[in-house]
Amino acid sequence: MAEIFAMPKLGMDMEEGVVAQWLKAEGDTVKKGEPLAEIETDKSCVEVESPAEGVVLKIFLAAGETAPCGTAIAVIGAAGEPIPDVTAPAAETAAPATAPTAAPAAAVNSDLFFLMPKLGMDMDEGVVSKWLKAEGDTVNKGEPIAEIETDKSVVEVEALQSGVLLKIYLPEGESAPCGDPIAAIGPAGTEVPADPKAAMAAAPAAAPAAAPAAAPAAAVNSDLFFLMPKLGMDMDEGVVSKWLKAEGDTVNKGEPIAEIETDKSVVEVESLLSGVILKIYCAEGESAPCGDPIAAIGPAGTVAPADPKAAMAAPAPAAAPAVPAAAPAAAPAKVAAAVKTGVAAKTPGGRVRVSPRAARLANQNGVDVSCIIGSGEEGRIVEQDVANYIASGAAATATAAVAAPAACRVPTETVEPINTVRKVTARRMVQSLTEAAQTNHRVDVDTTNLMNFRKQVNAKLEKDGIKVSVVDLLAMACARALIEHPMANCYMMPDGLHMHNYANIGIACDTPKGLMVPVIKDADILSITEMAQASRAVINKARKGELKPADMSGGTFTISNLGMFEIDSFTAVLNPPETCILAVSRTQDKVVVENGQMVIRPMMNLCLTYDHRVLDGAPAARFLETIKHYIENPVWLVV
């Protein structure tokens, strides 16, 4: 059955989203969990994964267009399957026609109720598959409260307010129309009506929620906390890569407050509140589950609790806040620290401390950020530093102080936190070795003709500023060979072998953040000039840390090149779900026999690792021979 892909709700205050880019086109095959689109909110651009496996049958919302959360924007299903009608949205659940003419004395605030959510354009009702909280349990805003089953899938939904689950009106397994109250959430001790629909109809539009009779004086408003954001559908936790504000700093709503690292990228997130950073609970480099409080923001002088989770669990009074809602106009802001002098500050890994906005501005203006002295915390370069540097026109100079050697060394052992890229690499390599039957073939290739061909091509293209690398020619050779040997260019998936009529070549790159594999799309139809430009673009983006998820997805084959090192031979590990990967070692002069004579030739060792579940030994050998043929006869790459 075709499945509707709806505009996802990526944040509690998100009402609509923009399709920044479709990563798949109509007719493309997509796997469950594979990146499908980049959705732009008012805070960031997030890669969203497919909820189902199949073919993209229809895209309703073009790139650059906007739609409310829950609106159908694409359909995924089996090839040739009819596309469901999603053009007519389901009618909103109307208020009861026989509402009481007079509100009862015990009128209830409608904000007390948790309603059956509308999770798609064609959803009229939902079934409570499972309650994740029981009556009497404390629930926090943004915390999963129930699993709701539609006719397409089961979706975990979150609470829209904090408090105690006072009453469950809809038992597990029963259904209710969208918009009907299915539970009540509020302060402990609040009375709940037996008939929630009648209570909603009778409640005045602005009736204040009743405060608990014995609310503790030290109760804390849950709006005080800045929570770990959920930046993707499969994101369970995040790492605070960098705080852009320190405790005591003033922050405005919408101002960047932190850099959050997921398993895919580092995203600059903005504050949802205005006030002072009262407390930071999650230090840089530490992780926290999505929805957990990682900082407290409020008016100056507010006391932040030591245990934010416990404070959020205790419902705050609905009225009479302990401090004014807005900070006093005369509240003193933290005095900015003087600009530090010296060389640009770097992380333990050697990377210059620079904010994403500052890095973008520097790249746009060709500025080397290592020449700029940052004014941020720990010497971090902020956007204003780059703007000032550009405006001045002067080159920043910095002399590094050389530390005197220590008189003696005390043996120590430190623990270096594992960054997200390393975690992902480790997980995928283990997955590769446990799921695929990996074996390999090796061959030595004479690169005499390849080097001469490259020299002639570069002499011709020198006037255009284009330089062709050995990797460019290897990528062209592999791409041509993949089209001739389609079994080497496929994926093994649960439903069968996914064949490709194109060759997308991944180039393994060593970057400051770890191993990255940017992908050159449609490499089999690129000219030498186009290949050189495409590879240079993606490799430079990888080394600068500017790769987007789309730049690293869709590969059908990977090249791992260690030719710049003194490595004679090595075996590469498959990049799942690809069938093959080519390990390229250094080129060195060797004595070979030609026509009965010993001659010296520049020889390169190639090692093809392949999945024996897909390729047998003989077909894999023929594929490697074809690559060898193109390398030793490069003129065939342009014929």
Q: How many Cβ atoms from other residues are within 10 Å of residue 497's Cβ?
A: 13
Q: Note the pLDDT of residue 350.
A: 63
Q: What DSSP assignment string belongs to 209-231?
A: PPPPTT--TT---GGGEEEPP--
With respect to residue 596, please indicate whether it lies within any of the assigned structural domains. Answer: yes
Indicate whether 454 and 536 sit together in one domain: yes
What contacts 458, CB < 8 A, 6 or more positions away?
467, 468
The answer for residues whose C-beta is within 8 angstroms of residue 557's C-beta and 6 or more apart is 478, 479, 482, 488, 489, 503, 504, 505, 506, 578, 579, 580, 581, 582
Please check whether residue 95 is in contact with residue 62, taking contact to mean a CB–CB distance below 8 angstroms.
no
Q: How many CB atoms lie within 10 A of CB 63?
A: 12
Euclidean distance between CA atoms 21 and 18, whole angstroms = 9
Contacts of residue 544, Cβ cutoff 8 Å, sequence gap at least 6: 363
Low-confidence residues of the chain, pLDDT below 70? Answer: 11-13, 42-44, 86-110, 120-122, 151-153, 203-222, 232-234, 263-265, 314-351, 356, 377, 394-410
CA atoms of 582 and 561, how far apart (whole Å): 8
CATH number, position 196: 2.40.50.100
**Cα–Cα distance between 419 and 259 in angstroms, integer?**
14
- Given 174, 202, 230, the domain boundary residue is 202
437, 514: one domain: yes
Report the alpha-carbon distance of residue 465 to residue 32 in Å, rounded. 43
Active centre residues (catalytic): 612, 616
Number of independent structural domains in the chain: 5
Which residue segment(s) compose the domain that 124 sits in? Answer: 110-202
Judge residue 630's burial from the number of C-beta atoms within 10 Å of its C-beta, 0-12 exposed, 13-18 middle, 19 or more buried.
buried
* 518/592 same-domain check: yes
Give the tens place of pLDDT for each residue, 288-340.
888 889 999 989 888 888 888 887 776 544 444 444 444 433 333 333 333 33
If asked whether residues 472 and 561 sit together in one domain, one would say yes
Is residue 343 domain-shared with residue 194, that is, in the same domain? no
Helices (H), 71-195: none
Q: Are residues 231 and 198 in the same domain?
A: no
- Within a domain: 408: no
Specify if 255 maps to a domain: yes
Report whether 555 contacts 507 (CB < 8 A): no
C-alpha–C-alpha distance, residues 329 and 412, integer Å = 50
Looking at residue 348, what is its pLDDT?
A: 54
CATH number, domain with residue 387: 4.10.320.10
Backbone angle region of 128, left / alpha / beta, with phi > 0 → left and psi within -120 to 50 → alpha: beta
pLDDT tens string 471-525: 999 999 999 999 999 999 999 998 999 999 999 999 999 888 788 899 999 999 9
Domain CATH number, residue 577: 3.30.559.10
